Chains A and B, each alone.
Chain A
């Protein structure tokens, strides 16, 4: 649902949107398309967002790609954990579409 929302929200922009349903698939997708920015849930089946971020940081050619975590928690600890895993930003659910677009604009190059 969130994937569909993000895709729909960015449809009007010039950005290209690629979707993956979990961390492992996300990692493969990132390797393939080399995006400007990654938006990721934390809670995902098989490989969660933090594990994916850690894996990304371990790859020299991909380590620079910024990740924005979308979390349901607004608790300080979990937000801190996002940044410990190298997050470039954080979006707390429920977020507005304008918030999402601001974040995309902040990191996207084109």
Chain B
């Protein structure tokens, strides 16, 4: 206003100068004419001749001069009046024009779709231009998603303190809430010192504006909806009075519409985008039962929509065993890698059972310095993580991270992340259920196959001794036999019966051991002695297989079940003979290896293919090939060996080269030295 005030005084001053100048000019002209007239009268001799004529002339001159002067002054006064009136009219028109201009300028600037922030910039600039550049103007807009007033922009000396603020409806001062938000009327405190009572209360509720000497809060209403408010702060008492805030009010009416549509557009856009993503996630979750595929389709999309650096899905049933199970990285971002990784924010979210957002991990005191190290090393600055829970049970966590810069996670982001986590939950549950079922079915199929294999193997193995029993007993009953023959056949029948019995016991033993019902009769056992006995027992049945012993005399004793360990040796030696149909040396050796006894049985038989080295220890895991087809066995020998060794706290494994032979290793923990010494002493 002061600038316009100065303008108004300038115009009359120049006018006065003009009036004075023209009066002076008129006077000069009058004097000049008077002079010439006098000189000519003198030349004509009129003045010289008549003295009284001179007096008359002088008085005529004086009167006419006074008349001229009077007329000039009157003219000057009239001109001055006129000029003043003209200047006043011109200035009022100009101001109105300027004010209108700024509104038109504003509305022109706001024409067309604009971002909320841009609208704020134009509006605040116009407001400060209309008021006074020393005021601070703040535009806050109501955010439906946040359910709070968000500061769209702030301009002026105190703007820095006010930018980025969010006010929940309850966070606004009561006076502003009642008057501006509820009643949609402007709220003014022209002089905060004069209205100390109101102001102290307000300053307490909203410390951000406490420093103001003059304050105004104006509602912004569009289509009957309160879209936001304009806060104006001045450090000059009386700066903001009802008359002065008329202009910002009028501008506010223009701006409110734009804010409304910008809000609606951004609302609609983000809602549409969010809904589209969530729909896509849900669709994908329904379309696929492969967890990896679901994650690929959903987590990748989420990462891209949010523009984060990395999205991680971890799985686990407790915060401490969360393992990275899926990862999406923005182009150029180094992957973290699957498996156990330090993911403190996801763990924190899992512990709290809710979403955790970290805008800047470097400033976040919730995380101990030590736990941040890994994140820092990976350059992670901001993280948002949410747990994935199924039926109250933790299943994993979804975490999004921003590298190299802080990030303000908006309520929108959080909702989106939670929505995706929710869909993932559904997807993971169904996929898990399907996977479980698939596994159960596969396991059943495997068991069923194993069972029928077993039935055919067992029936095959059982039929041969049964043939003997049936045949010999048939002959004994139908033919005339000598006593010796009778005895011989009875012996044969007995042998076959024993063989059957042994096979049945093997099956039962394995069942017992596998179900943990086998009791070991532990005593101090000399493994060397067992090896020697077992070798002696096999030799008569294996003339083509020389059995060599290389036993370590310093082996010591182990605590174990003598019968069961004998079974281990017998089974390994039997296999060595059975699977070396062409004969060949069999070497049994023992040695001490740390606190364990290491037993090795080496043969020079057909060998075992690499891929079968583990499965041979499985029930019915016999290698089925043309070479082994004719080798009898229930397929239980090695599973029994493994069970016994494991019951003793040992390990068994095999090495082999096909065509050259196999080596079976058994390690068993040695008895503590003291007990071995006690044994020796007794």
Contact = CB atoms under 8 A, between A and B. Distances in A.
A36 to B, nearest CB: 21
Contact of B456 (A8, A46, A75): A75
B629 interface: yes
B459 A72 contact: yes
A28 interface: no
Given A72-B461, A97-B474, A46 B581 contact: yes
A5 B472 contact: yes
A29 B492 CA distance: 26
B488 to A, nearest CB: 9
Interface in A88-110: 92-97
A1 to B, nearest CB: 5
Contact of B474 (A73, A75, A93, A96): A96
A73 B460 contact: yes
A93 B463 contact: yes
B632 interface: yes
B466 A44 contact: no
Contacts of B459: 72-74
A64 to B, nearest CB: 26
B467 interface: yes
Tell me which of B463, B465, B479, B489 has the highest count of chain A C-beta atoms within 10 A of its own C-beta. Answer: B463
Interface majority SS (helix, strand, loop, mixed), chain A: loop
A94 B456 contact: no
A43 B581 CA distance: 13
Nearest to A5: B471
Interface in B500-551: none
Interface string B430-471: 000000000000000000000000001001110111111111
Given A1-B495, A93-B463, A43 B629 contact: yes
B67 interface: no
Interface in A1-22: 1-2, 4-5, 8-9, 12
Interface in B629-652: 629-632
A74 B466 CA distance: 14
B327 interface: no
Interface in B605-650: 629-632
A1 B630 contact: no
Interface string B576-620: 000001100000000000000000000000000000000000000
Contacts of A42: 630
A1 B463 contact: no
A5 B630 contact: no
Given A5-B472, A9-B475, A72-B460, A95 B581 contact: no
B173 to A, nearest CB: 91
Contact of B629 (A5, A48, A74, A96): A48
Given A1-B464, A43-B629, A95-B467, 6 more contacts: A1-B495, A2-B467, A9-B471, A43-B632, A45-B631, A70-B467
19 contacts: A1-B495, A1-B496, A2-B467, A5-B492, A9-B475, A44-B630, A45-B630, A46-B581, A48-B629, A72-B460, A72-B464, A73-B459, A93-B464, A94-B466, A94-B469, A94-B470, A95-B471, A96-B470, A97-B474
